[in-house]
């Protein structure tokens, strides 16, 4: 899906997207939905 999203030149939007992705990843870790690497 990410291939269809054009990156933005607005730095604030990029920072917000990164922050949102980090919080989503943290939530997935907290709920133990991510399988261990090994």
Question: pLDDT, tens digit, for every residue of 14-27?
Answer: 899 899 999 998 99
Integer Cα distance of 24 and 16 in angstroms: 12
Confidence of residue 1 (pLDDT cuts 50, 70, 90): low
Residue 2, pLDDT > 70, answer no
Q: What is the mean pLDDT of residues 22-34?
A: 89
SS3 12: helix
Question: Residue 9 carries which DSSP code?
Answer: S
Q: How many whole angstroms separate alpha carbon 38 and alpha carbon 36?
A: 5
Within 10 A of 26 (CB to CB), how many other CB atoms are there?
10
């Amino acid at each position: 899906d990410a291939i269809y999203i054009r990156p933005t030149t607005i730095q604030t939007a990029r920072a917000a997207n990164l922050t949102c992705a980090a919080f989503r990843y943290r939530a997935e870790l907290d709920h133990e939905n991510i399988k261990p690497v090994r």
